[in-house]
Amino acid sequence: MPEQVSGAGRESFGSRLGAAMASRGPLCVGIDPHPALLKRWGVEDDAAGLRQFSLTVLEAVAPLAAAVKPQVALYERHGSAGIAVLEEVLAAARDQSVLSIADAKRGDIGSTMAAYADAWLRDGSPLAADSVTLSPYLGFESLRPALDLAAETGRGVFVLALTSNPEGASVQHVGGEDSVARRITTAAATENARYAGSLGSVGLVVGATVGSALTDLDLDLAAVRGPILAPGLGAQGATPADLRATFGDAYPLVLGTSSRDILSAGPRPDGLREAAQRTLDGLRGQ
Amino acid sequence: MPEQVSGAGRESFGSRLGAAMASRGPLCVGIDPHPALLKRWGVEDDAAGLRQFSLTVLEAVAPLAAAVKPQVALYERHGSAGIAVLEEVLAAARDQSVLSIADAKRGDIGSTMAAYADAWLRDGSPLAADSVTLSPYLGFESLRPALDLAAETGRGVFVLALTSNPEGASVQHVGGEDSVARRITTAAATENARYAGSLGSVGLVVGATVGSALTDLDLDLAAVRGPILAPGLGAQGATPADLRATFGDAYPLVLGTSSRDILSAGPRPDGLREAAQRTLDGLRGQ
C-alpha cells in the first residue's frame, strides 16, 4: 500500500518535493530556451545555444529552486540534437540535486501511454526525469501506466487540470457542477490516497492567473494533497500575492513557476540568481 | 538534409491526402515499434532494432498506403537515439512518396505550442512530417500556431476528438448537447472553411470502435470536411464493415488505420504487403 520508499530505493516524489519546498521554498524555475530569449542572450538558436542556455540557468538556480522545469517543446524543435541536450540537462539536474519536471504534456492510451511513461519515468531511460506533465484529454484513467510507474520508481506526474489561457475554458469548464476540471481534480485526490505523508506524487497544473475559476468550478485543491504546479508568475501577470489570494487554503501545495522573468535576467549567473532569489523571497513572504 | 519544396510550392495536405486516398485507397499503416513486436520480429529493443523495424515496414507498405503513421512515443522511449531514427523514417517516407502522420498528440499554449508546430510542421525541421496529431485539452484555439503553420506549409493536423477507450468519455462526452467532443468537431469544421477542394487539412482522430457515440453526441463528421483518422482496425476490434456502419455518410473521409494486424505479419516484406493489401481490399470494398 503506502510505500514511501519505492522499489528503486528512492523516496516518493511527493516526499522529496515536499522536503525541497520546505527547505528552499516553493519556487520552480522554468528552463525555456525560446528563440527570442536565446537571441537576447546572444547565443545561436541551435543545439549548442540550447545547451549553453540550459546549463547556465540550471547551474545558477539549482541551489535556490525546489525544482526546475525544462520545456520539452523547445528542445523538440531541434529534433534529436535538441533531445540530446535535454537528456544532458536532466542528468545535470540530478547531479546538482534539484528536482526536475519535464514539461512534456504527454498523453495517450494503453501500450502507447506505457511507452511515454517508460520514456520519462523509468530508471535508466535517457530522458528519465523526477516528474513529467501529462494531458488528460483521453481521460484521467488513460494515464494509468504513468501513474503506476511513477509510484513504482519514486517519481511523479503533474496532470493538466485548469489553465488560465482563455481557450482552456471551452474544454475544462464544460459540464456545469461536474466540470471536466473538477473530474480531473477529484481523480487526482483519489489517486493520492495511495501515498502516505503530507504530499502525494500526483500533482496538478493549475494556472497562476485562473482568477475566480477555482471557486466558480468548486475545485477543492487542498483535498488533492498533491503539488500544484502554477505557471504564470511574473511575465505572465501573477504576483506571489495573487497566488496566495487565488489558491487560499491550498497555497502550501503551490509550486510557483517563473520562466521569462528570471530567464531574461541572464546570461550572467548572478543576474539569474538575483532574479530567482527575488521571486523566491516573494513566494516565501506569503 | 534533403532540400524541400517551399510551403508555397506544395499543395495543401488535404488535397494531397485526398488524391492519395483516391488513387491508393483509404489505408493508413501505423508504424508502432512496440517492444513486444520487436521481440516477435527477432530484433533488439534499441535504436538499431527500431530502425530496422521501421524502415522495413515503410518500404513494404509505402506503395499501398495513403499514409503511414509512426507512433512517436515508441521512438521517444529511446531518447535522442530513438528520435534520430524517427527523423530518418520521416525523411524516408518523403523519399518513398507516402504521406506521414507523426502520431505525437502534442498540445500546449502560446509560444510553446508554436514550438511544437515548429518541430513537426516547419520546412527544414529535422522532424518535419506531412501532418501531426494534436491534443486539445487546452482548447481547440490553443492549437492555433499549428493550424496556421500547417496552412502555410501545406501540412496538416489531426485533432483528438472522440476516442474509443472507455476512460475517454469522462472528458469527451461531458457537456450534454454541447459536449467537449462536439465542440472540437464543430471547431474543426469551421477551420476547414479556409480550404478549397473536397478535403480540408484539419483532420480529427475518431476511434474506429466508438459505436453509437457519434449519433449519441450528435457529431456531424461529414460537415467537418477533413480527414478522419480512425485507429482501431484489426487487432483493436473493428472490421472495415464496422467502420462503414459507424461513420455512415462520413465514410469517404475516413482513413482506416491498422497497426498490429499488419505489423505482426512481418518481418518478411511480402507478409507485410499481403496483410496491408488485405486490409486495403476490405476498406475499398465498403
- The CA-based angle B64-B67-B72, given to 5 degrees, is 130
CA contacts within 13 A on the Cβ side of A14: 30
Closest chain A C-alpha to B107 CA, distance in angstroms:
7
Query: Is the sign of the CA dihedral B141, B144, B148, B151 positive or negative?
Result: negative
pLDDT of residue B1: 32
Q: Which residues of B touch A34 (CB under 8 A)?
A: 111, 115
Residue A4 pLDDT: 52
Q: What is the mean pLDDT of residues B85-108?
A: 98
The fraction of chain B above a pLDDT of 90, given in percent, is 91
pLDDT of residue A1: 36
Inform me whether the pLDDT recorded for B174 exceeds 70.
Answer: yes
Task: Give the pLDDT band (50/70/90) at residue B184.
Answer: very high
Pairwise CB contact (< 8 Å): B106 & A73? yes
Between chain A and chain B, the number of residue pairs with CB atoms below 8 A apart is 179
Question: Domain range for residue A90?
Answer: 13-177+201-281
Q: Which residue of B has its CA nearest to A173?
A: B175
Indicate yes or no: CB of B138 within 8 angstroms of CB of A109.
no
Residues of A with CB below 8 A from B83's CB?
Answer: 79-80, 83
Of B79, B110, B165, the CB nearest to A87: B79
Residue B139 and residue A110: Cβ atoms within 8 Å?
A: no
Cell for B166?
472507455
How would DSSP label each residue in A26-57? SEEEEE---HHHHHHHT--SSHHHHHHHHHHH
Q: How far is B217 from chain A (nearest CA, A)?
A: 14
Measured CA to CA, the distance from residue A209 to residue B34 in angstroms comes to 40
- Compare all CA atoms of chain B with the CA of A181 and give the residue at the minimum distance: B171
More confident residue, A237 or A278: A278
Nearest to B102 by CA among B112, B110, B122, A133: B122
Looking at chain A, the whole-number percentage of residues with pLDDT higher than 90 is: 91
B226 pLDDT tier (thresholds 50, 70, 90):
very high
Q: What is the pLDDT of residue A5?
A: 58
User: Would residue A255 count as lying in a domain?
Assistant: yes
Set of chain A residues whose Cβ sits within 8 Å of the Cβ of B136: 137, 171
pLDDT at B3 over 50: no
For residue B30, what are the β-bridge partners?
B69
Q: Give the CA angle between residues A94, A99, A105 to the nearest 5°.
A: 110
Catalytic positions of B are 105
Q: Is the per-residue pLDDT at A202 higher than 70?
A: yes
CA B6/CA A95 separation, integer angstroms: 44
What's the pLDDT at B197?
Answer: 86
Q: B79-95 and A79-95 are packed helices; what angle lies between their axes, rounded to 10 degrees?
A: 170
A271 near A57, Cβ under 8 Å? Answer: no
For A47-62, what is the mean pLDDT? 98
Pick the residue of A39, A71, A105 with the most B CBs within 10 A to test the interface with B by mutation. Answer: A105
Indicate if the pLDDT at residue B2 is higher than 50.
Answer: no
Question: Of all helices (H) and strands (E), which one includes residue A270?
Answer: helix A269-284
Long-range contacts (CB closer than 8 Å, 24 or more residues apart) made by B186-189: B187/B140, B187/B141, B188/B140, B188/B159, B188/B161, B188/B224, B188/B226, B189/B220, B189/B223, B189/B224, B189/B225, B189/B226
Cell 450534454, residue? Answer: B176
Q: Is the CB of A171 less than 8 angstroms away from the CB of B160?
A: no
User: Are A232 and A207 contacting, i.e. CB atoms less than 8 angstroms apart?
Assistant: yes
Residue where the block lists cell 497497426: B259
CA–CA gap between residue B2 and residue A219 (Å, rounded): 51
Q: For residues A221 and A185, is the Cβ–Cβ distance under 8 A?
A: yes
How far apart are alpha carbons A116 and A125 in whole angstroms?
A: 11
In-domain check, residue B4: no
Confidence class for position B167, pLDDT limits 50, 70, 90:
very high
Measure Cα distances from B120 to A137, A240, A274, B254, B277 in Å.
20, 36, 36, 23, 29
H helices of chain B, in order, are 13-24, 35-41, 47-61, 72-76, 79-95, 110-121, 144-153, 169-172, 180-191, 213-216, 240-247, 260-263, 269-284
pLDDT at B83 over 70: yes
Closest residue to B80, CB basis, from A84, A142, A170: A84
The rounded mean pLDDT for chain A is 95
> Quick one: pLDDT at residue A235?
72
- In terms of CA atoms, which chain A residue is nearest residue B118? A77
Q: How many structural domains comprise chain B?
A: 1
Rounded to whole angstroms, the Cα distance separating A104 from A127 reads: 11
Residue B87 lies in a domain: yes
Q: Average model confidence (pLDDT) for chain B? A: 95
Tell me the per-residue pLDDT of A245-255, one tens digit each, with 9 for 90 and over: 999 999 999 99
Confidence of residue B198 (pLDDT cuts 50, 70, 90): confident
Q: What pLDDT is recorded for position A7?
A: 58
**Assigned C-alpha cell, A34:** 525560446
Average pLDDT of the segment spanning B235-243: 86
| pLDDT tens digits along A129-153 | 999 999 999 999 999 999 999 999 9
Percent of chain A at pLDDT exceeding 70: 97
Look up the CATH number of the domain holding residue A63.
3.20.20.70
Distance (Å) of CA A28 to CA A58, A103, A207: 11, 12, 14
Confidence bin at B4 (pLDDT 50/70/90): very low
C-beta of residue A231 within 8 angstroms of C-beta of residue A279:
no
Do the Cβ atoms of A118 and B142 come within 8 Å?
Answer: no
* CA separation, residue A25 to residues A29, A63, A198, B135 (Å): 12, 11, 16, 33
Instruction: Assign A285 a pLDDT band (cuts: 50, 70, 90).
Output: confident
What b/e string do you get for A224-260 counting C-beta neighbours within 10 Å, with b at 16 or more?
A: bbbbbbbbbbbebebbbebbbebbeebbebbbbbbbb
Question: What b/e readout covers A62-71, taking b as 16+ CB neighbours within 10 angstroms?
Answer: bebbbbbbbb
In-domain check, residue A130: yes
Taking CA–CA distances from B74, the nearest residue in chain A reads A115
Contact A34 B111 (CB under 8 A): yes
Please report which residue ranges of B42-133 form alpha helices under DSSP H: 47-61, 72-76, 79-95, 110-121
For the cut 80, the answer to whether the pLDDT of residue B38 exceeds it is yes
- Burial-class residue B6 by CB neighbours within 10 Å (0-12, 13-18, 19+): exposed
| Residue A5 domain flag | no
Residue A3 in domain: no
B112–A107 C-beta distance less than 8 A: no
The reported pLDDT for the residue numbered B243 is 93
Chain B residues in contact with A171 (beta carbon < 8 A): 136-140, 171, 180, 183
Q: Nearest-CA residue of chain A relative to B82? A: A80
Which residues of B fall within a CB distance of 8 Å from A139?
Answer: 165-172
- % pLDDT > 70, chain B: 97
Q: Is residue A123 part of a domain?
A: yes
State whether residue A69 is helix, strand or coil: strand
Chain mean position to CA B105 = 10
Average pLDDT, stretch A191-216? 94
Interface confidence (ipTM) of the complex:
0.96
> Which of B7-16, B23-32, B169-178 is the least confident region?
B7-16
C-alpha cell at A227: 503539488
The owner of cell 500533482 is: A203
* Cross-chain residue pair A79–B87, CB shorter than 8 Å: yes
Under 8 Å between Cβ of A246 and A223: no
Can you tell me the mean pLDDT for B83-109? 98
Cβ-based contacts of A161 with chain B (< 8 Å): none
**B200 found inside a domain:** yes
pTM of structure: 0.97
Contact between A30 and A103 (Cβ < 8 Å): yes
- pLDDT over 80 (residue A45): yes
Q: So which residues of A are the catalytic ones?
A: 105
Q: CB atoms < 10 A from the CB of B87, how many?
A: 18
**Do B160 and A137 lie within an 8 Å CB cutoff?**
yes
Distance from CA of A23 to the nearest CA of B (A): 31
